[in-house]
């Protein structure tokens, strides 16, 4: 896989994960802190975090979503 693919996978996963995480947290507070400024803060933090982790994975090339393929189970002795 190309280094840019590692970046894209990490960026999208972290960005969506952080937004869902904050939305669930707000859901428990009945969206009491929901305003336009807070939404921009969440998007900015999600973008920045995803960008930093994506750049790190661009160089580290850690693939979290690999298919394991058809593994043969170990034979019992």
Whole-model pTM: value is 0.74
Give, in order, the Cα–Cα distances in Å from 67 to each of 15, 64, 71.
22, 9, 11
pLDDT at 42: 93
Collect all residues with Cβ–Cβ distance below 8 Å to 72 and sequence separation of at least 6: none
Mean pLDDT per 10-residue interval, the chain, length 77 residues: 87 94 90 88 95 91 70 58
The Cα–Cα gap between 47 and 68 comes to: 30
């Amino acid at each position: 896989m190309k280094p840019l693919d590692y970046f894209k996978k990490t960026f999208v996963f972290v960005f969506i994960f952080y937004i869902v995480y904050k939305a669930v947290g707000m859901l428990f507070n009945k969206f009491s802190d929901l305003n336009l400024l807070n939404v921009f803060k969440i998007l900015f933090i999600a973008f920045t975090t995803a960008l930093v982790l994506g750049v790190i994975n661009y160089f580290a090339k850690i693939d979290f979503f690999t298919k394991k393929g058809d593994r043969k189970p170990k034979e019992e002795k």
